Structure 1
Amino acid sequence: MSSRAPSSLPSPAKFASLGSPYFGVMLAVMAVVVILSNIGATKGVAFGPIITDGGFFLFPLAYVLGDVISEVYGFRVARKAIITTFALSVFASLCFWVVIALPGFNDEYGVSKQTALEGALGPVPQIVLASLLGFVAGQTINSWILVRMKARTGEKSLWARLMGSSGAGEFVDTLIFCSIAASVIGITDAAGFINYVLVGFVYKTLIEFLFVPLTSVAIGWVKKREPSYGLNVA
């Protein structure tokens, strides 16, 4: 009688197909978060010596959603979410341009309102460029690393996938964004730029690490409610 030792190989990576409403909801929230972050980022924010921008508290949520989408649906669907968010952000920026360009009232209130719009939304195109280039590069790297790690570990070590992919994605995103957006929010010297990059990277990465338990719960919740999860095996 022969016996075989149980295999120690990880189970194949599983994913879900599109078809339920969950992906659409997450995609919509991701797009709104990125667009609002672009607007908030036009304001420089200083907490004593710490320099950041007004979108600092929102943007990490886009990466949390990106992690959920990548883990549940795979790289192709995550790439679709990134491209769609990119397109909607460009559309929002074009709308801001049109609103600013439209002729307004010439009274004192109308002139002050136009000045306020130009001050708040005028720099957005450059912020959008910075955000989109950083977002596309960072999210693509984040998703690719997460899915590649899942191909090796299967359903195990979710926390390692979330933390490993987030660190790489956030670094690329932050460096690209800060390099383009710094001058718009008034950062012109090297010390301020280094501060801006380091604070942004450390803050975003720390938030993602702190959110790992919540992200894991959200991923488990979606997996259980996706009828097709596990039917698609990488």
Structure 2
Amino acid sequence: MTSAKTFPAAAPPKFASIGSPYFGIMLAFMAVVLILSNIGASKGVAIGPVITDGGFFLFPLAYIVGDVISEVYGFKVARKAIVTAFALSVFASLCYWIIIALPGLGDEFGASKQASLEGALGPVPQIVLASLLAFLAGQTINALILVKMKARTGEKSLWARIMGSSVAGEFVDTIIFCSIAAPVIGITDAGTFVNYVLVGFVYKTLVEFLFVPVTAASIGWIKKREPSYGA
């Protein structure tokens, strides 16, 4: 009688503790990308039949950095990074509101500058609401799925973890963001809205897929230089 085959269990997932400068650098980059994306997203962009916003080229970078943080440091640290970036973006939005509310110069130049600030930064609070809720939900799901997959596979299947978590995170992110932000940037009809959602999801996911080799190489580079990784 033959016994059933047994397969060796995957090694337990390894994570680094916060202590080196790498986490701080990545956290700062994630926060800056999120803040700049919120500003850029206030502008609707039409490239041929493609409808998007001015932050389209920036936001996927925050998810790529999020993948690196989740893989190297684990879910608790990733959650800390997400909440910190969230708080800093709220602070930036508050600063925009104060700057716009401050009394300006009464001459023609001052009135022109005030109108420009209101036009560029005025819609940002609504965009920030959309971006922050989307970022909070999408990044949390992205980090949670990546870490759960790592718990099953150990150090193997990194590419599958990055790609699988990205699809789920970007889908949730795009649905939430587009639903809130679309009216602010002038998207009001159903056809244009569907275009906006599909383009946003497909574009951001494809960018993350294209950058998987770079993300994987960055993860490997940091793992080798984090003294506490797997310790």
Q: What's the TM-score, normalizing by structure 1? A: 0.96
Q: 1:204 Cα shift?
A: 0.1
- Which residue pairs with 1:210 in the alignment? 210
Task: Read off the aligned partner of 2:115 and give its amino acid letter.
Answer: T
The alignment partner of 1:15 has SS state of coil
The alignment partner of 1:130 has SS state of helix
Q: 1:141 Cα shift?
A: 0.2
Superposition map of 1:19-98 within 5 A? 19-98=19-98
Q: 1:226 Cα shift?
A: 0.3
Q: 1:106 Cα shift?
A: 0.8
- Which residue pairs with 2:114 in the alignment? 114
Separation in 1, partners of 2:160, 2:19: 28
Separation in 1, partners of 2:105, 2:46: 35
Q: 1:9 Cα shift?
A: 1.8
- Which residue pairs with 1:221 in the alignment? 221
- Which residue pairs with 1:164 in the alignment? 164
The alignment partner of 2:45 has SS state of strand
Q: 1:6 Cα shift?
A: 9.4
Unaligned 5+ residue runs, structure 1? none
Task: Read off the aligned partner of 2:89 and give its amino acid letter.
Answer: S
Separation in 1, partners of 2:6, 2:101: 69
Q: 1:69 Cα shift?
A: 0.1
Unaligned 5+ residue runs, structure 2? none
Q: Give the 4+ runs in structure 1 shifted more than 4 A.
A: none
Identity of aligned residues (%): 79
Separation in 1, partners of 2:73, 2:6: 29
Separation in 1, partners of 2:173, 2:141: 9
Task: Read off the aligned partner of 2:210 and give its amino acid letter.
Answer: L
Separation in 1, partners of 2:9, 2:133: 38
Separation in 2, partners of 1:45, 1:222: 36
Task: Read off the aligned partner of 2:48 and give its amino acid letter.
Answer: G
Q: 1:7 Cα shift?
A: 5.5
Q: What's the TM-score, normalizing by structure 2? A: 0.97
The alignment partner of 1:80 has SS state of helix
Task: Read off the aligned partner of 1:109 and give its amino acid letter.
Answer: F
Q: 1:24 Cα shift?
A: 0.3
The alignment partner of 2:52 has SS state of strand
Separation in 1, partners of 2:209, 2:11: 25
The alignment partner of 1:45 has SS state of strand
The alignment partner of 1:183 has SS state of coil
Separation in 2, partners of 1:60, 1:120: 22
Separation in 1, partners of 2:7, 2:86: 43
The alignment partner of 1:51 has SS state of strand
How many aligned positions are there? Answer: 227
Aligned-CA RMSD value? 1.0
- Which residue pairs with 2:100 in the alignment? 100
Separation in 1, partners of 2:136, 2:7: 39
Task: Read off the aligned partner of 2:40 and give its amino acid letter.
Answer: G
The alignment partner of 2:227 has SS state of coil
Task: Read off the aligned partner of 2:187 and give its amino acid letter.
Answer: I
